[in-house]
Structure 1
Amino acid sequence: DDAPRVGVISFVVEGWNSSHFAAALSAEYGIGVRDGLFCAHPLVRTLLGSDPGEAGECGAPEAEPGERSLNAIRVSFGAGTPDEHVERFLRAVRELVNDGARWKYRTEDGRCVPDRGAAQL
């Protein structure tokens, strides 16, 4: 079969709110990922240990950076994704996990965004 392949990985990072982690990947490294419940709310909530019947809407719940994550992060790699892009993603994840975010973030309209009013580290 010559059909193109796409790899999709969903994950959470211990000690991080997934929205905060996704925002830091985007703002600090220029790497776009999705965060949320991915239209699979009961399954994702069950996997993350929360109430699968809890009402919610698409996207991430409002949470401050560092709060326990009730959503996940999803990254996709296509057949044409160069190795250096995968390596850049892995390096960014490693740096965020080991060193933390360099910028400050806040919740705005239910999304974690860089705090433009705070001095960036």
Structure 2
Amino acid sequence: ACPRAAKEFHRVLISYVIDLGRDDNFCDHGPLRRSCFWAIGRLAQARRDLAVIARPWLLKGLEDEDIPCRGMAAWALAQLPRDFMDAPALRRLAEAGHEEICEVFDGEKVVEKTVSELAREALG
């Protein structure tokens, strides 16, 4: 919501979902990482121009070891402009039948959706 804060901290936020396999900012606790994916999605709703650099890491998040993280990554991808290159990974996730629940706060209310539902919605 604050343009100055978004511009200054968007890279730090995105760094929480980037696992380089060494000592970095990666959030290695799945339940906390889910909120990082969600926050990137909220950033995308407000400042797509800043969030679009997260796309490759969101795509990687579709294969996260924590299944609900996959759903949150799919939700975050859905907040970015559509890219047909995202479709194969989203389709695999949508068809995987993951029934794990993700709680998504859209700014007004919390909704519960399954990981596969979020992937199907991201496919549009």
- Whether TM-score is above 0.5 comes out as no
From the two aligned structures, give the one with the greater strand fraction.
1
Larger gyration radius, structure 1 or structure 2: 1
From the two aligned structures, give the one with the greater helix fraction.
2
Bigger relative contact order (CA 8 A; separation at least 6): 1
